[in-house]
Amino acid sequence: MMNDRPTRQNDDAVYGIRAIMEAVRSGKQVDKVLVKQGLSGELASELFSLLKQRDIPMQYVPEQSLNKYGNRNHQGVIAMISPVEFHNLEFLLPTIFEQKGSPFLLILDGITDVRNFGAIVRTAECAGVDAIIIPTKGSAKIGSDAVKTSAGALHNVPICKVHSLKVAINFMKQSGLRVVSATEKANQTCYETDLTGPIALVMGSEDEGVSNDVLRLSDMLVAIPQYGQIGSLNVSVAAGVLTYEVVRQRIRLR
């Protein structure tokens, strides 16, 4: 009988249908499951049902993409395991209000580069950000590389994965947070804007910025003044500037 208990090439992956089901049922933090296009069968259907039940995203890929992960008997599926625990925003936010009174959250909209993501998390941890919200799809992979780039900060800052940023933002606004998006489209700079009180700061991808849907939901838009010829900052640098402007304004009120 084939032995497909959890076998890993590294701490970031589990290979094989039964192995993945066992990992999910044992409470492993599964980031997503890569599935060979066209995979079918009774056992595969059982896996798909379990993933749907546990709200774990699947991504269909060509078999060649799976083979890049090494010469393993993956049976058409590879689960990417997260080294950090994900938090439920609806449970976490009331706790932050209760413990700190004025939450400071960071929303990352489309940040897919692992190095930028890790650098942002590191800055957020140093600045006392209470939680980071990322979408299930279109975010950097949270694996060992992200932990290393964050200098371990990923173990200290709660990460909330949400299926819809729009739904999450509406929840935050209803909970009393102002949502502030960083964008070059803003008419005022971060230094001219009141960033005190409960706040959720939104950073977008370097190529596209904050998505239009999120911009429309935002309470305020702010820009970082720039006087050079390049016209844009690295997103991790921009996140650092804005995050510490929030910190500066909070310190001023003490």
CB 235 within 8 A of CB 205: yes
pLDDT tens by residue, 190-227: 999 999 999 999 999 988 899 999 999 999 999 999 98
pLDDT tens by residue, 180-189: 999 998 999 9
pLDDT tens by residue, 75-94: 899 998 888 888 999 999 99
> Is 179's pLDDT higher than 90?
yes
> Is 8's pLDDT higher than 70?
no
Helices 89-100 and 165-174 pack at an angle, to 10 degrees, of 30
> Is 4's pLDDT higher than 90?
no
Domains of the chain with CATH codes: 13-81 (3.30.1330.30), 89-252 (3.40.1280.10)
> Is 71's pLDDT higher than 70?
no
- With helix as H, strand as E and coil as C, how does the chain read? CCCCCCCCCCCCEEECHHHHHHHHHCCCCEEEEEEECCCCCHHHHHHHHHHHHCCCCEEEECHHHHHCCCCCCCCCEEEEECCCCECCHHHHHHHHHHHHCCCEEEEEECCCCHHHHHHHHHHHHHHCCCEEEEECCCCCCCCHHHHHHCCCHHHCCCEEEECCHHHHHHHHHHCCCEEEEECCCCCCEHHHCCCCCCEEEEEEECCCECCHHHHHHCCEEEECCCCCCCCCCCHHHHHHHHHHHHHHHHHHCC
The residues pairing with 223 across neighbouring beta strands, listed in sequence order, are 189
Residue type, 50: L
pLDDT at 9: 43
Average pLDDT, the chain: 90
pLDDT at 11: 56
pLDDT at 60: 92
